[in-house]
Every structure is written in structure tokens, then in C-alpha cells.
Amino acid sequence: MTLTPNPLYAAPDDWRAYTGTLSRRVFAFILDYVIILLLCIPAAVILFFLSIVTLGLGFFLYPALFVIVAGLYFGFTVGGFSQASLGMRAMGIAIMRVDGQPMDFLTAIVHLALFWILNSVLTPLILLVGLFTERSRLIHDFLVGTVTVRTV
């Protein structure tokens, strides 16, 4: 079964599009955060030189560097045409909005922020919600109106 993540179509009704997405999301999460950590290295170097040019003001961005890099990474990948980050593409999943609209940069950032907030409150127990909901949706998926589907 091949599902092409096309932003012009709403989430499919076929149950096969959602089988195994919860475990794939966990592995995609791990891959994505390894990629983000690797992206933080050149970002830190760029921020160092930017801090020199701005006479030290750029150094105040170092505590937020991970959040900035992760936000840009997910905003441009999940909010892009493929509607999936690099880890999600490797695991064969994508995020779609249930109303059929394409994922945009802001929706991807809100999705990420809600995931971080809910994960800090509920810890990894947030994944238990996906075991009992239709389409293996998590709480932040319900709040934003998204669903994770298989692409392969």
C-alpha cells in the first residue's frame, strides 16, 4: 500500500493507513532529535560569530539554541510539501490535517510546542493515549487537528 502525502487531500479513512504509526512515531522522534542535535553544532558556530559581530548580544541566544533549531527544523520539514520530517520520512509516516488543508509552518510549530508542553506534564505516558484512540492519535494531534498516516 502506498499513500502519497498530498496536501490537497484529507486524511484517508482506510484503517491500513494508521497501522503501526505509534511505534514508527517513537523511532522517528529519536532520529529527528539526533538530527537536531547534529544541526545544533553548525548553528552554535554561526551564533558564535554572530555574537562577535553584535558585540556579545548573540550569546544570549545560546540557552534557546536547541529550541530555535528544533522549531525551524520541524517548521520547514513538517510544514513543507512532504509534511514529514527526515525521521518521519525514514520511518514511512507523515502528518496530515484532518480538514484537508496543508500543514503550514505555524501549524507545525504549534504541534511541536503542544507536544513539548504535554510531554513535560504527562511524561512519556502521553504515548498511552495513542493505544486507546482512533487512528492512534495523541492529545496534541486532537488539539491541532492532525493525524499521522503511513506513506509506505
Write out the DSSP string of 17-29.
GGTTHHHHHHHHH
Q: What are the backbone dihedrals phi and psi of residue 104, each rounded to the nearest 5 degrees, phi first?
A: -115, 180
Q: What are the backbone dihedrals phi and psi of residue 96, each rounded to the nearest 5 degrees, phi first?
A: -130, 150
User: What H or E segment, with its residue span, contains residue 104?
Assistant: none
Q: How far apart are CA 150 and CA 17, in angstroms?
A: 5
List 97's β-bridge partners, or say none.
146
Cell numbers that stand for 37 in this block? 542535535
pLDDT of the residue at 8? 42
Q: What is the pLDDT of residues 13-45, one digit of tens each?
A: 777 788 889 999 999 999 999 999 999 999 999
Mean pLDDT of 112-120: 93
pTM over 0.85: yes
Q: How confident is the model at residue 10 (pLDDT cuts 50, 70, 90)?
A: low
Average pLDDT along the chain = 89
Q: How confident is the model at residue 12 (pLDDT cuts 50, 70, 90)?
A: confident
Q: Report the b/e string of 107-141 with b at 16+ CB within 10 A.
A: bbbbbbebbeebbeeeeeebbebbeeeebbbbbbb
Instruction: Pick 1 or 139 by higher pLDDT.
Output: 139
Cell numbers that stand for 147 in this block? 493525524
Cβ 96 vs Cβ 103: under 8 Å:
yes
Cβ 35 vs Cβ 94: under 8 Å:
no
Cβ 26 vs Cβ 138: under 8 Å:
no
Query: Would you say residue 2 has pLDDT above 70?
Result: no
Query: Would you say residue 139 has pLDDT above 60?
Result: yes
